[in-house]
Amino acid sequence: MSMRISSRAAALIVALAGLSLLTLTCGQIALPLADTVGALTGTQSSDLARQIVLEIRLPRVAAAIIAGAALGMAGVLMQALFRNPVADAWSLGLLAGGQFGVALTVTAAAFAGPAAVAFLTVFEGPSITLAAAAGVAAAALFMLALGRRVGAITLLVIGLMLGFTSQGLTSVLLHFAARAGGRVYGGWQDASFAAVAPAALPWLLAPILIGAGVAVATAKPLSSLLLGETYARSLGVKVTSLRHAVLAATVLLVAPVVAFCGPVSFVGLIAPHFARALAGTARILPLLPLAALGGALLALAGDAIVHAPWEQHFLHLNAILAIVGAPVVILILVFSPAVRQWR
Amino acid sequence: MLDLRSLAVGYRSAGRALLSGMDVSAEPGAFICILGRNGAGKSTLMRTIAGLQPSLDGVAALGGENVASMRPGTRARRIAVVLTERQFNPGLRVEDMVALARQPFTGWEGRLGDGDRAAIAEAVAVMGIEPFARRYFSNLSDGERQRVMIARALAQTPRLMILDEITAFLDLPSRVEIMALLRSQAKAKGQVVLLSSHDLDLSLQLSDSVWLLDGAGGFSVGTPEALSQSGAVGRAFDTDAIRYSPSQGRFEIRTSESA
């Protein structure tokens, strides 16, 4: 890895560590920094501080970092696969597809009876991750088939519409699931990192680590695909199997995020642009760590703002991400040379 | 080095071959122009020889090896293409584009070795694209883009280079310069260069050999002089409005008297 990439990654890691510490310290109950560090290291600290830091704030911070990193890497993969600067798991409707998959599973269990609901509750982690993965994969396959027929902007609009449709269907389904007595994931239709229980963290992390591994393995041929399909083939890339591998990596990265944190918007769309600007290249391999760190930083910053000590709890994660993210997307649409090709 | 043996090309769905029964050979260092009107099958022929499209029949062989059955990695180390397809991507800089040519030669990370860097530097120098190496490809003019794509193909250090209508966006001095440059590259490196063009004059002046597609499934192969004198050029290109004059070596507008 070049000096430029390493030094930028190191700077991002320092920023991420600083922001994590800040998020662990601040909140409705402000803790002295010494108590926070004490709770983290297991040395002298009050029981209250230990409980707040380790049981409430740390899982939230960890979820934000893991989910943000996953969305950032998935954004890099999708923007390369679709050759579309505004592609990501949220904008192309993959997250909403995953939500729909989970809602369908929960509803089916609710109607199947108490035994099914009990099963779903016991195996909550794997079962909702699998349900989300099926939904994400279905949405991704649909968009990929469509992506060969329509331009970048049309695809974005269709992706957003697909997202609205899935979310509408999800809310209808969950309504019936509630009436039938099934478990409804409370508040889950809004994105949040606060609902991830410490026990769920391994289920969030494991598929994402595998997905990151697949992403790194496909990075080189995916860079060739930036030249277009025919040039990629002329460089020895087996395009069809590459597509499948990238799709698998995307599903592994994105499905656990939907399952545990909901539809986190804009992070995956912006992080790759941030990474490209830092890296000074569009080659995939150096972008992956930078987009992961940038995505983690953005997600954690959004979470920090949501959980800052406001008078009352009034902010939603996606509201913050939209206020920051939507103007960035508008700038990309107006100024990106790649988008200009399609106008 | 390049041998076509009863090669037939086209799309299976079309029901019949665009070209068939092609038996041609080319020696290392040959600079070959493929001429023919739109739709005569130039691009299809070139894509088939490049292994990007299956042949309908027969074989294209490079160094005695069937291109169609080469492993993709091997083929990529031996054949480079420049195509008419124009696909652009966000954030790709010129230096990235040229460096991607070395992917068939690098490990899983795509890390460039000294040999790769040397090949890239030489291609960049030959095509004179250093001044915009750090710029985004999508911000370049058509002519600049074409130079970058040719540099990318040169950096792939192929045995066979296939270039489809690369001079279409260039002004006359640039066309002459680039065709002459490709010709000297072919001689210097012992590569076979296959180039399709609508630049009849230039192609007939610079090529060692011409593959002339008549647009009706037939073709003739020969030196520019031979094809010109035999009337094959005229048969491929003459219309009601123009006709090729072998004695003058150029096209004339048909007037009512001469028609």
Considering CB atoms only, which of B75, B81, B100 is closest to A224? B100
So what's the pLDDT on residue B180?
A: 92
Identify the burial level of A207 via C-beta atoms within 10 angstroms of its C-beta, where 0-12 means exposed, 13-18 middle and 19 or more buried: buried
So what's the pLDDT on residue B259?
A: 44
Band (A179; pLDDT cuts 50, 70, 90): low
So what's the pLDDT on residue B237?
A: 79
* DSSP per-residue string spanning A95-134: HHHHHHHHHHHHHHHHHH-HHHHHHHHHTHHHHHHHHHHH
Q: For residue B82, what are the β-bridge partners?
A: B163
Band (B256; pLDDT cuts 50, 70, 90): low
So what's the pLDDT on residue A40?
A: 83
Which candidate in B89, B138, B163 is best for mutational testing of the A interface (most A CBs within 10 A)? B89
Tell me if chain A has a CB within 8 Å of the CB of B94: no
Q: What is the mean pLDDT of chain A?
A: 87
pLDDT at A280 over 60: yes
pLDDT tens digit sequence for A103-158: 888 888 888 877 777 777 777 778 888 999 999 999 999 999 998 888 778 888 99
Phi, psi angle pair for A209, to nearest 5°: -65, -45
Model pTM above 0.80:
yes
Between CA A141 and CA B60 the distance in angstroms is 36
Tell me if chain B has a CB within 8 Å of the CB of A252: no
Q: What is the mean pLDDT of chain B?
A: 87
Considering CB atoms only, which of B101, B109, B139 is closest to A285? B109
So what's the pLDDT on residue B38?
A: 83
Percent of chain A with pLDDT over 90: 50
**Radius of gyration, CA atoms only, chain A:** 20
Band (A195; pLDDT cuts 50, 70, 90): confident
B106 chain-A contacts, CB cut-off 8 A? 220
So what's the pLDDT on residue B214?
A: 81
pLDDT at A184 over 60: no
Comparing CA positions, the residue from A264, A260, A319 lying closest to residue A88 is: A264
pLDDT at A51 over 90: no
CB contact under 8 Å between A337 and B110, yes or no, is no
Percent of chain A with pLDDT over 70: 93
So what's the pLDDT on residue B105?
A: 95
Of the ranges A293-297, B12-16, B140-144, B165-169, the best mean pLDDT one:
A293-297
More confident residue, A232 or B141: A232
B88 chain-A contacts, CB cut-off 8 A? 337-338, 341
Q: Kindly state the average pLDDT of the residues A335-341.
A: 64
Which candidate in A77, A225, A234, A339 is best for mutational testing of the B interface (most B CBs within 10 A)? A234
Band (A92; pLDDT cuts 50, 70, 90): very high
Quote the ipTM score: 0.91
A46's tokens: 């009050």
Q: Kindly state the average pLDDT of the residues A169-197.
A: 72
Q: Are A162 and A143 in contact (CB under 8 A)?
A: yes
More confident residue, A26 or A15: A15
So what's the pLDDT on residue A165?
A: 92
A37's tokens: 């560090």
Between CA A123 and CA A139 the distance in angstroms is 24
So what's the pLDDT on residue A343?
A: 42
Q: For residue B221, what are the β-bridge partners?
A: B211
Torsion over CA: A109, A111, A112, A116 (sign): positive
pLDDT at A185 over 60: no
Establish, for the pair of chains A and B, how many residue pairs have beta carbons separated by less than 8 Å: 99
Torsion over CA: A226, A231, A236, A241 (sign): positive
Q: What is the largest distance, in Å, between two alpha-carbon atoms of chain B?
A: 68
pLDDT tens digit sequence for B183-207: 999 999 999 999 998 888 888 888 9
Considering CB atoms only, which of A219, A234, A282 is closest to B96? A282
CB contact under 8 Å between A337 and B138, yes or no, is yes
CB contact under 8 Å between B93 and A231, yes or no, is no
Tell me if chain B has a CB within 8 Å of the CB of A239: no
CB contact under 8 Å between B77 and A228, yes or no, is no
So what's the pLDDT on residue A112?
A: 80
Q: For residue B194, what are the β-bridge partners?
A: B32, B162
Cα angle A63, A68, A73; round to 5:
130
> Between residues 44 and 63 of chain B, which touch chain A (CB distance below 8 Å)?
50, 52
